[in-house]
Amino acid sequence: MSGWRNCAAPSRAAGWTSCGCCSRCTSLCAGRTGGCRGEHESTMLEFQTMSGLGKIVARVLSCPIRAAVGLRMLDGHRGMEVASHLKGRLGSAMRKHLLRKMGAQIGRNAYIAGGCEFWFEDAGLLKIGESTQVDRDCRFGELMPCKYEVEIGDHARLFDGLRFGAYAGPIRIGERSRLNFFGVYRGPVTVGNDVEIAHHCVIVGAGRDFEDVEKPLLEGNVPTKPVVIGDSVWIGSNVTIVPGITIGEHAVVGANSVVTRDIPSYCVAAGCPARVIKRYDFDKKEWIRVITENKQS
Sheet harboring 171-173: ordered strands across? 105-106, 126-128, 150-152, 171-173, 189-191, 227-229, 246-247
Domains (ranges, CATH) in the chain? 12-102 (no CATH), 106-297 (2.160.10.10)
φ, ψ dihedrals at 171, nearest 5°: -125, 125
User: Which is more confident, 54 or 220?
Assistant: 220
Contact between residue 193 and residue 179 where contact means Cβ atoms under 8 Å apart: no
Per residue in 3-26, pLDDT tens? 444 433 333 333 333 333 333 333
Q: Where are the beta strands (DSSP E) in 27-140?
A: 39-48, 55-60, 105-106, 111-112, 117-118, 126-128, 133-134, 139-140
* 238-252 mean pLDDT: 98
Q: Side chain identity at 154, as an amino acid letter?
A: D
Segment 145-165, tens digit of pLDDT? 999 999 999 999 999 999 999
Q: Rounded to an integer, what is the distance from CA 122 to the centroid of its chain?
A: 16
For 190-202, how does the pLDDT look when each residue is reduced to its tens digit (9 = 90+)? 999 999 999 999 9
The pTM assigned to this predicted structure is 0.72
Q: State whether residue 63 is helix, strand or coil.
A: coil
Decide if pLDDT at 144 tops 90.
no
pLDDT-based confidence at 80, cuts 50/70/90? low
